[in-house]
Structure 1
Amino acid sequence: MKFMSNFSVAIASRPALREFLLNLLLQLAYREGDFVLSSGQKSSYYINGKEVTLNAEGALAIGRLILPLLPPQTDAVAGLTLGADPIVSAVSVVSAYEARPIPALIIRKEAKGHGTKAYIEGPTLSSGAKVVVLEDVVTTGKSALQAVERLKDAGYVVEQIIALVDREQGGGELYESLGLKFQALFSIRELQQRYQELSVSN
């Protein structure tokens, strides 16, 4: 979908932003074929979220859509490297423009091999700080849980996970079974429905 030249992600309404981001995901990130996911599962489609999260307008749209979903008392956003890195950065930058500055934390999969040997990059927060975990694409849910565990080990409180896309393959149910609130900007059903509509129209 092509937007008019005067369309601006910076000032667009929430419905317009969502429409823009959905179409950007289909244009840049969604592919059908035979794929093997990081979980080892085989899939008939693949979503390369970084094609959108590292896109300037895509990142801004994501930041503007996720920020209002954060609880008022949120002290930071965090995510497991690499997929979540541009998302937490986008939300943090947008929060500053909205006069609600929220720092971003990046969770390493393995401890840094030098210096502090830390798992968590970013400002050190007070014990009990409330952190929301962000993710690009959720399948089984295990990647974001790794971030949750690291944050809890550091003394932070995690009660919510927000994703760009939910593949609806058990991740959301896993989070809820552990008492974690979960929401995604888009479900895989929504992406595939729009993909089919566009395929028919073309």
Structure 2
Amino acid sequence: MLLLSRSPLTLAPAEQKQALIYLIRELAYREGDFTLASGQKSSYYINCKPVTLHPQGAYLVGQLLLAELPASTQAVAGLTLGADPIVSAVSIASVYNTEGLTNLPALIVRKQAKGHGTQAYIEGPALAENTCIWILEDVVTTGASALQAAERIAGAGYEVGGILALVDREQGGAECYASAKLPFRRLLTIEDIRTAIVRF
């Protein structure tokens, strides 16, 4: 199932961003009456999983989010389930990166501790104490989900570099992270998606 008329491998960074917006508009964005995970009511809904689990979408997400991470980043992590394909895409993209960040491990943070074995909250390779980890998120509304992941990562002895979102709904997430003294970056805002006129 390929939606882009051109291979994302041939696109310049600016074109990659437009192609990702196109995929989000086609696969992830819906208008109607919705109740969000935060409990808020909304006239639109963004479910990024059809994009982040799409082959072309996963490639674009990996490339574009990797480019947004600061040079101090040593690993990426995110709260299951929405962040799972995102941290994987960025980690894989980093293997092929010839300039800047490379070979970034990926961690997945559980919402509840594993009920057996080690009863761990965090899945992935064991990393050195104080490893600088950025938390990745698909859609930020209030900021609570990524903040939970950040707290688990900090509790495990790592340094939380900040939060990087694929889409910011601009409904309090930035303020939440500012209160927690966490740097916040976003690839796209809701207005980027709602107002875009793109064709691929």
Residue 59 (structure 2) aligns with: 60
- Partner residue of 1:127 out of 111, 126, 129: 129
Q: How much has 1:3 moved relative to structure 2?
A: 4.7
Question: What residue in structure 1 maps to residue 73 of structure 2?
Answer: 74
Separation in structure 2 between the aligned mates of residue 162 and residue 74 of structure 1, nearest angstrom: 12
What is the Cα deviation at residue 121 of structure 1? 0.2
Q: How many residues align?
A: 193
* 1:167 and 2:169 are equivalent in the alignment: yes
* Most deviating of 29-38 and 65-74: 65-74
Tell me what 2:36 maps to: 37
**How far apart, CA to CA, are the structure 2 residues paired with 1:180 and 1:73?**
15
CA distance in 1, matches of 2:11, 2:191: 25
The CA RMSD measured in Å over matched residues stands at: 1.3
Give the drift of 1:17: 0.2
Aligned-partner SS, 1:136: strand
SS across alignment from 2:9: coil
- Equivalence for 2:23: 24
- CA–CA separation in structure 2 for the residues paired with 1:192 and 1:105: 31
User: Quick one: higher RCO (CA 8 Å, sep 6+), 1 or 2?
Assistant: 2
> SS of the counterpart of 2:176?
helix
Measured in 1, the distance between the counterparts of 2:172 and 2:150 equals: 17
Cα separation, 1, equivalents of 2:124 and 2:36: 29
Question: Which residue pairs with 2:156 in the alignment?
Answer: 154
Deviation at residue 186 of structure 1 after TM alignment: 0.8
Between the aligned residues of both structures, percent identity stands at 56
Q: Which amino acid aligns with 2:103?
A: P
Runs of 4+ in structure 1 deviating by more than 4 angstroms, as ranges, are none
Structure 2 contact 31–45 (Cα < 8 Å) conserved: yes
Query: What CA deviation, in whole Å up to 9, does each residue of 1:56-106 have, x standing for no partner?
Result: 100100000011222222121000000000000000001011151101000
Partners of 2:193 and 2:53 in 1: how far apart? 19
Return the TM-score normalized by structure 2: 0.93
Report the 3-state secondary structure (helix = DSSP H, G, I; strand = E; otherwise coil) of the residue aligned with 1:10: helix
- Maintained 8 Å contact 1:62/1:87: yes
Query: Contact 2:137–2:164 (CA<8 Å) still a contact in 1?
Result: yes
**What is the match of residue 101 of structure 1?**
103
Structure 1 unaligned spans of 5+: none
Amino acid at match of 1:146: Q
